[in-house]
Structure 1
Amino acid sequence: MKKISLNALRESKLLRYAIFAAVAVIFVLLTILVTRKKPVAEKPDTVPAVVIQKPENGTLLESVTISGYVEANAMIPVVPFVSGTIKEYPVRAGDFVEKDTLLAKIDDAPFRQQMLQAQAAYFAAQSTFDRINNLYKSGATTQQNYDSAKAQADASKAQYDLAKLQVDYTEVRAPVDGTILIADQAVGGIGNQTQPVAVLADLTNQVVRLKVPEKYFDLFTLERDNLKVIVTRPAEKNMYEDAVTTATIENIAPYVSPQSKNFIVVCHLDEPGDRFRPGMFVKVQVAYKTYENVPLISLKARKMDGSFYIFDENTSTVKYVEGQDFPVDENNFIVPEEYRNSYIVMDGQNFVFDGQKVRVFEEALNEAKSTDRTGE
């Protein structure tokens, strides 16, 4: 038998190991090639979607808004000057009445009786005086008798005039033109001086008394002639439009209350019309600066720090604009002039960063609809 050398045996083992290692490497490589995933492209829905809008030209008023209540400049309680049972009561709340219109009629029978008594006493006293006067002229009586008779006649005349006046007072009439705000008496009730038969107000003369914080004192006193006042009564949503009128500052209190730290400003409604009434809640906008023909965008475009984003159509990215002291009103703010024609991000600005690629919401919506149709 032929002997195999030790070296040949070793070479044979090494060859087998090499072949086994090569096969293992090839297997591993094939496994990697088969199982390796292809790189997945970024899904469109991972790019944030934003809503954009261009600014619109308009007018902005920098202002202070303060709440208040409408008041009649003068509310007149009408009380009777005599007491008695109410026999007539022709008015109702809401009626417009002219001066001297009858508001209530109090039973005048007792007062007519008093007038007749006073009339009789006056006629008797006057007759006595006439007789004494003739005697005095002829020297048949003394000066004392004359003076006494005259005093009695004058006193009786005064009592008679007062009795007639009380009869007139049983007819309670409107002292001025106005609208009846309160009319809570009734026929058969008792009219007296402690309770008015009606409360009148001139509804064309209405005011709002504002309690203005102390920090605005200089603004109101130094810029009074430049202030523009707009009064708004909020209407029921989806039913009527807000009632709006301008107003004129009528009076500014010269002092600040140390308790409330407010001062009073009285604004007179220029044209209250039929939609403003005493007691109604209103918002008073006091504008101190006007910007005309400026680019405006809704306040909802701003972030908490006052910044906002503009959208670049060419790169589909957003650009961060640092918050500044932009003039604002209750709804809008003025966009810097260089962004007048730019698209402003209105929604989604809290989920993007400067330079980030974004999609416009309308495009994202269309892609979603397209995907849904493909899936079906």
Structure 2
Amino acid sequence: MSQSRRFLLMFCKAHILLLGAILILSGCDQQSPAKVRQPKPHLVEVLSAQPVDIELVRIRTGTLEAFQTINIYNQEEGIVTQIRSREGDTVRRDELLITLDDQLLSAQLQRARAVRQQAEKELQRISGLIKRNLTARSELTQKETDLAVARADEQVIATRLGYTRIKSPIDGVVTSRHTEPGNLAEKSSLLLTVADLDSLLLKVDISELLLNQLAIDMPVEIEIDALRTANRSNAFAVSGKVSRIYPTIDPATRSGTLEISLKPAPQGARPGQFARVKFQIPRQQVLLLPFASLRQSDNGSYVYIIDNEDTVRIRPLQTGLKAGEQIEVLAGLEPGDRVITRGFTNLKPGMQVTVVKRAADSQTDGTAAP
């Protein structure tokens, strides 16, 4: 056999072996099962919603005000001749504070008194004539009318004269003085301000959700930063009580107003000072969720829950007060509902999820966020 035929024979054998190998590999591929890419499970943490027995503390701030503040105006125009008190002076009810020049009114009173006396004499004279039938009964009626008018005029002038002596309407302290002796006090000018500092009050804006849990005469604790103890480490705390709850709610802020009275006022407490109020809400059972589990949409708050088949559902909520890092649930959840607390990325309703951990039921410390 020639060398060329041998080479051709070897080449053909090599091609036959290669083709057989390809066919074998192809047959193996057709017999192996198709490889399917399995989806990665969506991992979440959940919390079983359960009622919690808590005693909440709510802290609100406000500014101290005098229980009663009176602005004193003059009812008669005149020159201020005397002011007896300055800022900080203590005054008593009906104590004389300010006098105005009364010369003109005194002269008018003397004239009115003389007119009244003349009318009395005329009435007496006509009465004598009537008894002797020397004049008509109509004359008596006229003189009686003249006397009544004269007495009224005298009373008006006497009252106006009394307005030149301005007295304190309450027991209190002069907080501001707006004029000086020698100034002309036009009618209805503000002259002095007197405040009752024995009693103070605090007006506080309260959420409508908290307002319904408060009542008249409910005791509260008040901290006044300006009145510190000797070591200056703590704010000065006093007790007070809810004295008034306003009947309306501001539709813009959804909050109401209440007044807290401090009677007697603590030593050194003054209107304008900053104060904090602690409301101790009675112990109650509420449904709490971690605030971070709450989602928001245009329709309000909601959470993701999972059903018995670990399928994600959306549950709209009505929430209440915030307590620390938790939020009160008023409506939308039932005890035992499993709420997703972590794993929100790409989470959608209807999705199957895998629970990897049940978040521990957090307990509130009973202190509200300021």
Could you say which TM-score interval applies, normalised by the shorter chain? 0.5 to 0.7
User: For 1:315-353, what per-residue CA distance to the aligned partner results, in whole angstroms no more than 9, with x for missing partners?
Assistant: xxxxxx96722424489xxxxxxxxxxxxxxxxxxxxxx
Which among 301, 319, 325 is matched to residue 363 of structure 2? Answer: 325
Counterpart of 2:242 in structure 1: which amino acid? I
Within the candidate set 264, 279, 294, 1:286 is matched to 279
8 Å Cα contact 2:58/2:368 also seen in 1 = no
Post-superposition Cα deviations, 1:114-168, rounded to whole Å, max 9, x if no partner, equal 1111112112222111111111222211111111111111111111122222222
* Matched residue type, 2:209: K
Cα distance, 1:250–1:113 mapped onto 2, change above 3 Å: same
Tell me the equivalent position of 1:256: 249
* 8 Å contact kept, 1:234–1:242: yes
Instruction: Report the counterpart of residue 91 of structure 1 in structure 2.
Output: 85
Q: Deviations over 1:174-208 (max 9, x none)?
A: 11211112222110112244223212221122211
Task: For 2:268, give the aligned amino acid.
Answer: R
Q: Secondary structure at the match of 2:134?
A: coil
Distance 1:151 1:216 in 2: 66
Quote the offset at 1:65 in angstroms.
Answer: 0.7
5 Å-filtered alignment, 1:99-114, equals: 99-114=93-108
CA contact (8 A) 1:246 1:270 kept: no
Structure 1 unaligned residues grouped into runs of 5+:
1-59, 291-303, 307-320, 332-376
- Please tell me whether the aligned partners of residues 70 and 207 of structure 1 are also in contact (alpha carbons under 8 angstroms): yes
Q: Which residue of 2 aligns with 1:147?
A: 141
The equivalent residue for 1:32 is none
Instruction: Sort the Cα spacing of 1:262 and 1:167 in 2 relative to 1 into closer, same or farther, 3 A.
Output: same
Give the conservation status (yes or no) of the 8 Å contact 1:103–1:197. no
C-alpha change, 1:241 and 1:172, in structure 2 (3 Å) is: farther
Aligned twin of 2:342? none
Q: Which residue of 1 aligns with 2:236?
A: 243
String of CA shifts for 1:218-263, please: whole Å, max 9, x gaps: 3225xx66x5311111138876863322111111223322122111
User: Aligned AA for 2:130?
Assistant: Y
**Structure 1 residue 74 displacement after superposition:** 2.2
Is residue 231 of structure 1 aligned with residue 222 of structure 2? yes
Give the C-alpha shift of residue 63 in structure 1. Answer: 1.1
Q: Distance in 2 between matches of 1:192 and 1:119?
A: 27
Conserved in 2, the CA contact under 8 Å of 1:245 and 1:271? Answer: no
The one-letter amino acid of 2:219's match is K
Measure, in 2, the Cα distance between the counterparts of 1:105 and 1:90: 9
**Post-superposition CA distance 1:5-35 (Å, at most 9, x none):** xxxxxxxxxxxxxxxxxxxxxxxxxxxxxxx
Size of the alignment, in residue pairs?
A: 242
**In 2, Cα distance between equivalents of 1:305 and 1:161:** 71
The 1:213–1:176 alpha-carbon spacing in structure 2 relative to 1, beyond 3 Å, is: same
Within a 5 Å distance, the mapping from 1:158-197 to structure 2 comes to 158-197=152-191
Partner Cα distance (2:365, 2:151) in 1: 76
Residue in 2 that maps onto 1:40: none
Identity of aligned residues (%): 19
Aligned match of 1:348? none
Distance 1:305 1:145 in 2: 91
**Aligned AA (1:267):** I
Contact 1:89-1:104 at 8 Å conserved across structures: yes
CA-CA distance at 1:171 after TM superposition: 0.7
Amino acid at match of 2:143: A
Contact 2:244 2:258 in 1 (8 A): yes
How far off its partner does 1:76 sit? 1.5
From the two aligned structures, give the one with the greater helix fraction: 1
**Matching residue of 1:78:** 72
Q: Measure, in 2, the Cα distance between the counterparts of 1:211 and 1:159.
A: 52
Q: Which stretches of structure 1, 4 residues or more, deviate above 3 A after TM superposition?
A: 236-241, 328-331
Structure 2 unaligned segments of length 5 or more: list them. Answer: 1-53, 284-323, 327-358
Between the aligned partners of 1:100 and 1:83, the Cα distance in structure 2 is 21
Q: TM-score, normalised by structure 1?
A: 0.58
8 Å CA contact retained: 2:223, 2:275? yes
> Is the Cα–Cα contact under 8 Å of residues 122 and 156 in structure 1 kept in the other structure?
yes
Contact 1:114 1:163 in 2 (8 A): yes
Mapping of 1:20-99 within 5 angstroms?
A: 62-99=56-93
Q: Which is richer in strand?
A: 2
- Structure 2: which amino acid aligns with 1:228? P
1:10 is matched with: none
User: Matched residues in 2 for 1:243 and 1:253: separation?
Assistant: 27
